[in-house]
A and B are shown apart, each in its own frame.
Chain A
Amino acid sequence: MKADPKRVLTGAHYLDGDHAAAEGALAAGCTFVAGYPITPSTEVVERMAERFPSVGGVFIQMEDELGSMAAVVGGAWGGSKSMTVTSGPGFSLMMENIGLACMMETPCVVVDVQRGGPSTGLPTLPGQADMMQAKYGSHGDYELIALSPNSPQESFWVLIKAFNLSERFRVPVMVMMDECVGHMTEKVIIPEADQIELYPRRYTELPPDKYLPFKPEKDLVPQMIKAGDGYKIHITGLTHDERGYPVMTWEAQEKLVRRLVEKIRLFKDELVDLEEEQTDNADVVVFSYGISSRVSIPAIQKARKEGIKVGYLRPIIVWPFPEKKISELAQRIKGFVVVEMNYGQMVLEVERAAKGKTKTILVPHGGGWVHDPEDIYKAIKEAAK
């Protein structure tokens, strides 16, 4: 399915990451945004509020992030592609309803433009400390998908990809940006609508008497409907069976939650989107994402000039974590250097996937500013020993 030309702002623009993300959402067919202003993500909703009236869509500024996420889940069941945007404190508030979206298997997108934390932290400065929260923030067992762009141009495409993945897997997708990427202005080229591929919502063709809202297809994802089509379904956040009715037994829990988790884990080798450079015969691989990946580049170049074989690995899909690639690299390299703007979050996954076969050096940073490439360079040299 192609994008609607009326919604795509084709052309070459100078946009910041937030605005490019908004354009990406519009191109992906987003028609409902419920948001709450929070620095540094406010520009996304501001742009949606500005653009929706001329392309068709509803923006509502809700009274808080709790209401925003609940409205997003409701909006998806009403038939819209829905999205909300927030930052750290709001992300924490949305967690219960993100869990609801996972339980109800609702396709939707949540953009978290990370800032310095914890708590109110540094509202106008970057951070990357919500990465574990993206996966483990809500209570209970569930799996979801998270992406992380590192430029405004990529933000455009990542939003489209996020909507497509959410429709395919019927799962909320997190887009983990950071304030730097959100507020930097770069050239963004938006192509013609027919070059943008969209994944259509998996609406069922079965008649109401044969349709079961949570009966999985072969890829463990059930077919979707929307309210108002006469199916008279019951969708609940309680543990439920295939009919959607709550069932208070451990068997139902096992069956349902296992499937919620497996539907993503089954595809973890396919849900890989990496940017790699010179990793084939590298001795040290620098693993970074978001703005930290751009800051790593001068350090890598400096190390390469000294003859160290440094590879550059950047995940765009951060959850599910690209374990296979890390495991494979760990067999043959001397060490990973993990550069992230927190005190150790994705590094734990790198260590886990490396299974002790190689050393992992973290270059942490509290947030508020980007890394000093010197620190990264020193870590690369340490790893190369």
Chain B
Amino acid sequence: MSEVKLKKKKDEIEEEHPMEHLLRMDRMPHIWCPTCGIGTAVTAFLMALEKSQIPLNDTAIVSGIGCTGRVAGYVKLDSFHSTHGRAIPFATGLKLSNPKLKVVVFSGDGDIMGIGGNHFLHAARRNMDLTVICVNNFIYAMTGGQCAATTPITANTSTSPYGNFEQPFNLPYLAASCGAVYVARWTALDVRRLAKSLTEALQKKGFSFVEIICPCSTLYARRNRLGTGLDLMKFYHDNSVIKHGADLSELNISFQSKIVVGKFIDRERPTFIQGVNQGLRGVLKDKFVEYGGPVDDD
């Protein structure tokens, strides 16, 4: 560190960050550790939200439990913090009750893929119009660093103290095989491309899935002697390879291996609501009453 002294600014506390109108500032500072990547992922998401120009009053965000699950508490939208693993069905209920809503699920790898795996599979299969943002830090961080479904082989976690010997998931492969219409993976370092990808995912109709590889400093990095989150970011800088449209089976992540990022799937499929309405109209013809959303009681 140099000898640079900070200039004392009298009005520093009154300075407003450009994203503050999208954050619950009365809850800042947030609980994430120093050098945690989730804050960066949220910044990218907020930038994407603004760029996508989706009306904020019609947007809802649902999180599960975990470090990433706290995102809903900090974002200034209609936000719901549901039970562990059930963010996706909760979001399904929200969306089907009010099809006008844009529903975003922002949760972690343990929440969405571990306990919530079944719900993920089916929501992707049905092509529910949801945008699922999965922060993958390879560990169950909030509860103290346990092994997750994405933990690479040989990584040390609190429930695999001699190293993990279970095969992890390849999340983009899984999402694509279940029928997701938009699948991408980025690291937290590549913020601009991540924000662009998130914009596309938000504007896409159907089940879009974006995996964000984020550093976990206090648990994953520390337990595996990888330094801090900054060291992990440097690792992503040197080891992430952009390959749009790569063969999904090549996207496995081993411990400290190359990480292939990019946009892998971008296709069209009728969404659940579209398919069901179309089908029912075809069968019932005039008798079909399409559900349009909640009617305001007066």
Contacts and interface: CB of A to CB of B under 8 A. Distances in A.
B82 A73 contact: yes
Contacts of A76: 93, 97
Contacts of A203: 296-297
A246 interface: yes
A227 interface: yes
Contact of B98 (A227, A231, A238): A227
B27 A227 contact: no
Given A34-B93, A74-B82, 18 more contacts: A31-B291, A52-B291, A53-B288, A54-B288, A57-B291, A58-B291, A66-B85, A68-B89, A70-B89, A71-B96, A74-B97, A76-B93, A203-B297, A227-B80, A228-B60, A234-B24, A234-B72, A234-B81
Nearest to A231: B78
Interface string B149-172: 000000000000000000000000
Interface stretch (A77-85, A142-150, A369-377): A77-85
Nearest to B121: A63
Contacts of A238: 81
A76 B294 CA distance: 10
A203 B86 CA distance: 26
Contacts of A58: 96-97, 291
B46 interface: no
B97 A32 contact: yes
B83 A100 contact: yes
A228 B93 contact: no
Nearest to A62: B89
Given A71-B93, A75-B97, A232-B78, A54 B284 contact: yes
Contact of B284 (A53, A79, A226, A228): A53
Contacts of A54: 284, 287-289
A227 B82 contact: no
A64 B118 CA distance: 9
B60 A67 contact: no
A203 B295 CA distance: 12
Contact of A67 (B26, B81, B100, B118): B118
A74 B122 contact: no
A58 B291 CA distance: 7
Interface size class of B (residues with CB under 8 A): 35 or more
A366 interface: no
Interface-centre pick from B26, B98, B122 (highest chain A CB count, 10 A) = B98
B288 A97 contact: no
B185 interface: no
A206 interface: no
Contact of A233 (B79, B280, B296): B79
A140 interface: no
Contacts of B272: 60
B110 to A, nearest CB: 16
B293 interface: yes
Given A74-B97, A228-B57, A96 B291 contact: no
The 10 residue pairs across chains A and B that have the minimum distance between CB atoms: A78-B97, A79-B294, A74-B93, A71-B93, A75-B93, A236-B81, A67-B89, A70-B86, A74-B90, A230-B57
B73 A246 contact: yes
Interface of B: 24, 26-27, 56-58, 60, 62, 72-73, 76-83, 85-86, 88-98, 100-101, 118-119, 121-122, 272, 280, 284, 287-294, 296-297
Contacts of A201: 297
Which residue, A57, A75, A245, has most C-beta atoms of chain B within 10 A?
Answer: A75
A29 to B, nearest CB: 9
Q: Which of A1, A57, A70 has most B Cβ within 10 Å?
A: A70
A200 B90 contact: no
Contacts of A234: 24, 72-73, 79-81
Given A82-B97, A100-B83, A226-B294, A71 B78 contact: no
A210 B76 CA distance: 16
A251 interface: no
Contacts of A70: 82-83, 86, 89-90, 93, 119
Contacts of A78: 93-98, 101, 294
Contact of B80 (A62, A66, A74): A74
A232 B59 CA distance: 9
Contact of B94 (A63, A64, A227, A237): A227
Q: Give the one of B57, B93, B101 with max A CB within 10 A.
A: B93
A109 B288 CA distance: 26
B70 to A, nearest CB: 9
Nearest to B102: A228
Interface string A83-118: 000000000000011001000000000000000000
20 contacts: A1-B297, A32-B93, A60-B92, A60-B96, A62-B89, A64-B118, A66-B86, A66-B89, A71-B92, A74-B93, A75-B94, A75-B96, A77-B93, A78-B93, A78-B94, A79-B98, A228-B60, A230-B57, A231-B78, A232-B76
A56 interface: yes
Contacts of B288: 53-54
Nearest to B119: A67
A114 B270 CA distance: 38
Nearest to B92: A71
Contact of B93 (A1, A72, A229): A72
Contacts of B60: 227-228
B97 A55 contact: no
A52 to B, nearest CB: 8
Nearest to A99: B83
Interface in A181-205: 200-201, 203
